[in-house]
Amino acid sequence: MKEYLLPTRVVDGAKMDYTETLFRAKGLYATINYNEDEWKEYFKLEGVGAYVILDFGKEMHGGIRMITNWIYYGNCRVRIRFGESLGEVNSNIKEKNATNDHGPRDFETLICAYADVTVGQTGFRFVRIDLLEEKYIYFKNIYCQNIIYKRKPIYTYQGKDERIKAIFEVAKRTVDLCASDGYIWDGIKRDRLLWVGDLAPEVMALSSIYGRLSVVERSLDLAKKLAPVPKFMNDIYTYSMWWVIILADHYKEFKCDAYVKKHLGYLTDLLNLFDTLVDENGDLNREIRYLVDWPTKDSADELVGVRAIFLMAINGATELLNAFGLSTEKVMKIKAKLLKQPIAVQEKKQVIALKYFATGELTDEEYAKLIDGRAKGFSTFMSYYVLTAIASRDERLAIELMKEYYGAMLDRGATTFWEDFHMEWLDGSGRIDELPKAGEKDIHGDYGAHCYVGFRHSLCHGWSAGVAKFIKEHCHE
């Protein structure tokens, strides 16, 4: 659904008047007003160098709806910048890797007098408007047009812990924004795409909060349509494995026979394809692209994580085949080959957790690595798996570490959860809703890796919301 929201504060600006009028809704329609005495009821920007930075209070998905009154000579060119942080909204393209990737968030446009125009299609909390001509503009209102998933939840956290409540609500908002446009996107600023591996934690969150959803099944259907065998989903073979894991979990939870039946032929074709990815010695294919998560990329544990995901997919496929009375000969063959080599994790917490989900095993040494350094080494994508593995030994500690990790993002101003986050980023950094002070790190612009360096980093990424399922399963106080 669409909702229209006024800004919550003016962060900064120059050559502006009547800022207080921005917080008074005057109707979602344009009007003509020739009486100059009444123009003071409208926010004014005047001349080159005039600008305003607006804060809409939370991460939003969409753009801004500008309703204008009088403009000198009828129209004016402006520059509009959207930002998930104050650092990003003040940046220039290429500065700290600021981009227009996947949705324009920094552009020039023409706005007219007595107009009602909506611009922008991105993820943002902040908007900066700069005048580019020696003219003046009176704005009747500047609204955020937010597109968000709205449905009555079947679960919300009802406990007394305010920290857990805040984490749950932010996780919910994250997936509500990412699932708001017909399919489940990875992010609303960047990666406005259906990435199937990344879909797994999003489906966990959505199903936990709302139950069985058409947007989940529609997304699984689309992923299948876009990747006819022998093509892998998103050209990443572990992502086709994640599709099987999601489908199996979806069936286990909702017993949706008719829905799953239409995918059984495709599942069988996928299993034949999976068989080619592991040889008789248990060695995995290294020529076709695979991914565990970004923090694991190129590490000693990456292929170990792939093997664990592979086993999880085979386990899920076995459950589906058994449920529908189909032969499990192929999956047993694949599993036997996979188990010819051990899942020996060296360091990555998320890979230890994946091994736990694949095998049900967690040694004392692996558990010690999971909790070593507390929340250091956690992964937003894999948070559900890591926290659940810890909770298998010590539920109270797992909840404590969840609050430590996700709470740190809240303390830096997060209103949705991020593509990646490391506890080490906290040292010497400020909040995303404050301009960095002298000598202070920008937690958005100065960090990131791989494809999400600097301001390209998404601060509303659906894969970070798997924590909602963990809260439902473990947080009852």
Q: What is the pLDDT of residues 366-391, one digit of tens each?
A: 999 999 999 999 999 999 999 999 99
Omega prior to 230 cis, within 30 of 0: yes
Averaged pLDDT, 142-153: 97
Whether the Cβ atoms of residue 59 and residue 124 lie closer than 8 Å to each other: yes
pLDDT of residue 72: 84
For residue 76, what are the β-bridge partners? 111
CB proximity list for 99: less than 8 A, separation 6 or greater = 93, 190, 455, 456
Q: Taking the alpha carbons of 85, 86, 92, 96 in that order, is the dihedral positive or negative? A: negative
Averaged pLDDT, 165-178: 98
β-strands 9-14, 43-46 pairing: unpaired
pLDDT of residue 474: 98
Averaged pLDDT, 59-88: 95
Per the document, the length of the chain is 477
Percent of the chain exceeding pLDDT 70 equals 100
| Reported confidence tier of residue 255, pLDDT bands at 50, 70, 90 | very high
Tokens, residue 41 = 């009821």
Gyration radius from the chain CA atoms: 25
Residue that is written with structure tokens 């800022």 in the block: 19
pLDDT of residue 90: 97
Give the end-to-end CA distance of the chain in Å, rounded to a whole number. 33
Q: What is the pLDDT of residues 6-22, one digit of tens each?
A: 999 999 999 999 999 99
Q: With a cut of 90, say whether residue 439 has pLDDT above it.
A: no
| Reported confidence tier of residue 36, pLDDT bands at 50, 70, 90 | confident
Q: What is the largest CA-CA distance in the chain?
A: 84
pLDDT of residue 292: 95
Choose between 385 and 101: higher pLDDT.
Answer: 385
pLDDT of residue 71: 87
Whether the Cβ atoms of residue 245 and residue 316 lie closer than 8 Å to each other: yes
Q: What is the pLDDT of residues 269-325, one digit of tens each?
A: 999 999 999 999 999 999 999 999 999 999 999 999 999 999 999 999 999 999 999
**Residue of 105, 261, 264, 127 whose CA lies nearest to 190:** 105
| The pTM of the whole model exceeds 0.85 | yes
Q: Taking the alpha carbons of 51, 57, 58, 60 in that order, is the dihedral positive or negative? A: negative
Averaged pLDDT, 168-189: 96
- Give CA–CA dist 15/199, Å, rounded: 45
Averaged pLDDT, 54-59: 98
pLDDT of residue 447: 96
Whether the Cβ atoms of residue 351 and residue 311 lie closer than 8 Å to each other: no
pLDDT of residue 270: 97
Choose between 142 and 435: higher pLDDT.
Answer: 142
**CA dihedral of residues 213, 218, 221, 226 (deg, nearest 10):** -140
Element (H, E) at 13: strand 9-14
pLDDT of residue 37: 81
421: three-class secondary structure by DSSP: coil
Tokens, residue 25 = 């809704």
pLDDT of residue 435: 86
pLDDT of residue 309: 98
Averaged pLDDT, 76-101: 97
**Cα dist. 161→24, 169, 374 in Å?**
35, 12, 20
* Structural domains for the chain: 2-147 (2.60.120.260), 162-419+458-474 (1.50.10.10)
| Reported confidence tier of residue 73, pLDDT bands at 50, 70, 90 | confident
Tokens, residue 192 = 């406005």
Whether the Cβ atoms of residue 56 and residue 5 lie closer than 8 Å to each other: yes
**Residue of 14, 136, 133 whose CA lies nearest to 70:** 136
Averaged pLDDT, 120-141: 97
pLDDT of residue 70: 86
- Give CA–CA dist 44/40, Å, rounded: 8
- Helix 383-391 to helix 395-411 angle (10° resolution) is 150
Q: With a cut of 90, say whether residue 359 has pLDDT above it.
A: yes
Q: Per DSSP, which regions of 19-83 are E strands?
A: 43-46, 51-71, 75-83
CB proximity list for 298: less than 8 A, separation 6 or greater = none
Q: Per DSSP, which regions of 153-249 are E strands?
A: none
99: three-class secondary structure by DSSP: coil
The dihedrals phi and psi of 309, each to the nearest 5 degrees, come to -60, -40
Whether the Cβ atoms of residue 302 and residue 236 lie closer than 8 Å to each other: no
Classify residue 150 by its DSSP letter: -
CB proximity list for 323: less than 8 A, separation 6 or greater = 251, 260
- Give CA–CA dist 65/79, Å, rounded: 15
